[in-house]
């Protein structure tokens, strides 16, 4: 049986970072992944340019049953640390918006950086390899892999969440937690497009492709970003962000014209030119197709002069404060991340070690720490992976 100090399951962002750090400490490390290539989610992320961190990453950008759990790891390995790593490797980057940092070139540069750092610190990478069985023994863990047996002192679970099963996401990390009596909180798709009831969808489907800057709100949480009408419902950053806070049956509020009081704008337009059609007045503020659809949905096709203040207020409200209940979400098929996961009460926040199982670690998305859209999830993967790499 081959012996390693550390076996990492999952050659994603968190697993590779952990392997590099453990390798630096002189630990013998094996990273296994059932996929044919490492870091596939890194490769497809950020439209192929990888939004690898966020300048403003702080604990308030993360959701978890225990919001303070992420503080220690995010402090120990910060966005500045990762930016320095990227720069040391000559990878050019830029800030796109809201502190989101992307490669100028390709996300493959980040994958290559991690793979080559693993290699230079002696970590072995085995792809197309699956885990058939894990047993605990006096020396740590015995793993039956598809290509033979290995023994390790420390086992790091870095196999991500359930999002995008087509890319090999399995939920295997939660099964390992269950096997060793580590709790898992309820999991659900997050950063995911929302779907609409059939009648509302039929009304809005012609708007597919229309984008507006909006404020999306659910309860006390709100995000000001772009949103997009799609053939299935609503998407775009504002919707993905709010989806992480939304629960079935709850209402979402959308302000499709955040900087303006549309009622006052329409009143002024009516005073200036009462013969103007409502949809023309709306089109001064909104994309033409959206303006048309709003005018039609209000059964309001006349001139502005035909509208009372009450009628204008109703139209304005449907833009400044549109409230609706989504039918659901598009689920793990398209969700960027999984909300929930390995219960942080069972983990040490400094090292990511399971409190009751010496030598067992959970890092990255498999843990119940979920970031906002905008590079936060990779920062969590780097920070938690780095911490486990100092200890495993
Ligand atoms: P990750 O999922 O990256 O890696 C897990 C690894 O484990 C995979 O290589 C998988 O093959 C392997 N694995 C799974 N089950 C296994 C098993 N049973 N046996 C062996 N191996 C197994 N975040 C961000 O900050 N910026 C961004 O730009 C984006 N963009 C983005 C786009 C899309 C389309 C998605 C789906 C997601 C993003 N994200 C993102 C989220 C980000 O990709 C995610 O949070 C991290 O990849 C999580 O890193 P982990 O290493 O924890 O898991």
Interface confidence, given as ipTM, is 0.99
Q: Are residues 160 and 308 in the same domain?
A: no
Residue 334 placed within a domain: no
Q: Is the CB of 338 under 6 A from ligand 1?
A: no
Residue 56 DSSP label: T
How would you classify residue 39: left for phi > 0, otherwise alpha for psi between -120 and 50, otherwise beta? left
Residue 168 has pLDDT above 90, yes or no: no
pLDDT at 296: 86
Q: Are residues 12 and 116 in the same domain?
A: yes
pLDDT digits (tens, 9 = 90+) for 248-291: 999 999 999 999 999 999 999 999 999 999 999 999 999 999 99
CATH number of 140's domain = 3.50.50.60
Q: Are residues 52 and 171 in the same domain?
A: yes
Q: Are residues 360 and 272 in the same domain?
A: no
Which of 145, 362, 377 maximizes ligand 1 atoms within 8 Å of its Cβ, making it the mutation to test the pocket? 377
Token readout for 209 is 């492709």
- Residue 118: give the domain boundaries: 2-188+339-389
Q: Is the CB of 158 under 6 A from ligand 1?
A: yes
Q: Are residues 55 and 153 in the same domain?
A: yes
> Rounded mean pLDDT of 300-326?
92
Residue ranges of alpha helices (H) inside the chain are 13-24, 40-44, 71-76, 79-88, 108-120, 172-179, 198-204, 237-243, 262-272, 278-283, 288-297, 309-320, 376-391
Find the 63 Cα to ligand 1 centroid distance in Å: 17
Residue 53 placed within a domain: yes
> Rounded mean pLDDT of 169-185?
97
Find the 295 Cα to ligand 1 centroid distance in Å: 43
Token readout for 116 is 């080559």
Q: Are residues 309 and 241 in the same domain?
A: yes
Token readout for 163 is 């999002």
pLDDT at 292: 92
Q: Are residues 346 and 256 in the same domain?
A: no
> Rounded mean pLDDT of 178-196?
98
- 371 vs 168, more confident: 371
Find the 376 Cα to ligand 1 centroid distance in Å: 13
Distance CA 66, CA 343 (A): 9
Residue 300 has pLDDT above 70, yes or no: no
Query: Do 124 and 31 meet the contact criterion of CB atoms below 8 Å apart?
Result: yes
Which of 12, 99, 131, 237 maximizes ligand 1 atoms within 8 Å of its Cβ, making it the mutation to test the pocket? 12
Could you give phi then psi for residue 149, rounded to 5 degrees? -105, 145
Nearest CA to ligand 1 atom 35: 336
Q: How many domains does the chain have?
A: 2
Q: Is the CB of 33 under 6 A from ligand 1?
A: yes
pLDDT digits (tens, 9 = 90+) for 39-82: 999 999 999 999 999 999 999 999 999 999 999 999 999 999 99
pLDDT digits (tens, 9 = 90+) for 351-363: 999 999 999 999 9
Q: Are residues 307 and 343 in the same domain?
A: no
Nearest CA to ligand 1 atom 14: 159
Token readout for 373 is 């859209």
Q: Is the CB of 341 under 6 A from ligand 1?
A: no
Q: Is the CB of 45 under 6 A from ligand 1?
A: yes
Which of 15, 40, 41 maximizes ligand 1 atoms within 8 Å of its Cβ, making it the mutation to test the pocket? 41
CATH number of 198's domain = 2.40.30.10
Distance CA 237, CA 372 (A): 10
Find the 250 Cα to ligand 1 centroid distance in Å: 29
Find the 315 Cα to ligand 1 centroid distance in Å: 43
Q: Are residues 228 and 157 in the same domain?
A: no
Find the 338 Cα to ligand 1 centroid distance in Å: 10
> What pTM was estimated for this model as a whole?
0.97
Distance CA 260, CA 272 (A): 18
């Amino acid at each position: 049986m081959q012996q390693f100090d550390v076996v990492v399951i999952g050659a994603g962002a968190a697993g590779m970072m952990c392997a590099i750090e453990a390798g630096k400490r002189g630990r013998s490390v094996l990273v296994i992944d059932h996929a044919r290539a490492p870091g596939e989610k890194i490769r497809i992320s950020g439209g192929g340019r990888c939004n690898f961190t966020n300048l403003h990453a702080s604990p308030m950008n993360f959701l978890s049953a225990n919001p303070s759990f992420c503080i220690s790891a995010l402090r120990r390995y910060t966005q500045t640390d990762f930016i320095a790593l990227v720069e040391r490797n000559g990878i050019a980057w830029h800030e796109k918006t809201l502190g989101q940092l992307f490669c100028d070139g390709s996300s493959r540069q980040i994958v290559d950086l991690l793979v080559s750092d693993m290699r230079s610190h002696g970590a072995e990478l085995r792809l197309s390899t699956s885990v058939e069985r894990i047993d605990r023994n006096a020396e740590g863990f015995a793993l039956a892999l598809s290509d033979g047996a290995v023994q390790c002192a420390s086992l790091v679970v870095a196999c991500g969440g359930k999002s995008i099963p087509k890319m090999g996401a399995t939920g295997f990390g939660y099964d390992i937690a269950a096997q060793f009596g580590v709790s898992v909180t309820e999991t659900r798709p997050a950063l995911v497009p929302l779907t609409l009831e059939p009648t509302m969808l039929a009304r809005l489907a012609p708007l597919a492709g229309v984008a507006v800057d909006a404020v999306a709100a659910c309860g006390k949480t709100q995000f000001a970003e772009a949103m997009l009408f799609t053939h299935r419902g609503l998407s775009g950053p504002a919707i993905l962000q709010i989806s992480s806070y939304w629960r079935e049956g709850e209402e979402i509020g959308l302000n499709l014209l955040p900087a303006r009081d549309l009622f006052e704008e329409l009143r002024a337009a009516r005073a200036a030119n009462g013969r103007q059609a409502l949809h023309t007045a709306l089109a001064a503020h909104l994309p033409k197709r959206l303006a048309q659809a709003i005018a039609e949905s209000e059964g309001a096709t006349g001139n502005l002069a035909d509208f009372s203040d009450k009628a204008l207020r109703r139209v304005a409200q449907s833009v400044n404060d549109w409230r609706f209940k989504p039918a659901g979400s598009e689920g793990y098929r398209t969700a960027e991340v999984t909300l929930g996961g390995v219960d942080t009460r069972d983990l040490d926040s400094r090292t990511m070690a399971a409190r009751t199982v010496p030598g067992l670690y959970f890092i990255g998305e498999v843990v119940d720490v979920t970031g906002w859209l905008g590079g936060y999830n990779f920062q969590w993967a780097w920070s938690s992976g780095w911490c486990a790499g100092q200890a495993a």
